[in-house]
């Protein structure tokens, strides 16, 4: 389901990831463990798209996703949470959950504002 091959990432002179490879099988829960500074967050950021690897490839199923803009990754089933939650204090619990709803295909402000039947159906 997720295949990481030879991924490397440097910050200036600091190598955060050096030739990382592993894969996750569908239906299994996979944990990534390591001490502080091991590169876990950097790898998660490469998978979610906040960072682009310097080398290597990331596949989601058959699709190569390194280089794909982050906002197009949720429709492939990729989403992430953060150690520090960022909630919208003025929204209700339900509205906060809806704000994180995975968009299907390219998200569109116009479609959301028009509240087309497909959008209403998804929210329901
Ligand atoms: N934005 C950044 N700029 C510079 N160095 C970074 C940045 N992000 C992470 N690093 C460095 O990369 C290494 C891996 O960090 P990180 O991925 O946060 O590790 P972990 O999440 O496993 O604690 C560390 O040496 C860290 O200092
Ligand atoms: Mg971390």
Give ∠ CA 52-55-61 in degrees, rounded to 5: 75
For residue range 6-43, list pLDDT tens digits in order.
Answer: 999 999 999 999 999 999 999 999 999 999 999 999 99
How many A from CA of 36 to the centre of ligand 2? 7
For residue range 43-61, list pLDDT tens digits in order.
Answer: 999 999 999 999 999 999 9
Assess whether 53 and 108 both reside in one domain: no
Residue 107 sits in which domain range? 93-123
Whether the CB of 116 sits within 6 Å of ligand 1: no
Cα 83 to its chain centre, rounded Å, is 14
How many A from CA of 71 to the centre of ligand 2? 21
Assess whether 63 and 97 both reside in one domain: no
- Whose CA is closest to atom 13 on ligand 1? 16
Cβ atoms 7, 53 nearer than 8 A: yes
Assess whether 8 and 55 both reside in one domain: yes
């Amino acid at each position: 389901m997720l295949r990481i091959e030879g991924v490397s990432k440097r910050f200036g002179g600091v190598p955060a990831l050096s030739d990382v490879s592993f894969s996750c099988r569908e239906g299994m829960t996979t944990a990534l463990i390591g001490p502080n500074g091991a590169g876990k967050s950097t790898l998660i950021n490469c998978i979610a798209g906040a960072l682009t690897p310097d080398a290597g490839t990331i596949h989601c199923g058959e699709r190569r996703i390194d280089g794909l803009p982050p906002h197009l990754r949720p429709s492939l089933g990729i989403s992430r949470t953060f150690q520090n939650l960022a909630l919208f204090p003025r929204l209700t619990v339900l509205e906060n959950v809806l704000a994180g709803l995975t968009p299907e295909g390219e998200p569109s402000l116009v479609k959301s504002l028009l509240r087309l039947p497909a959008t209403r159906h998804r929210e329901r």
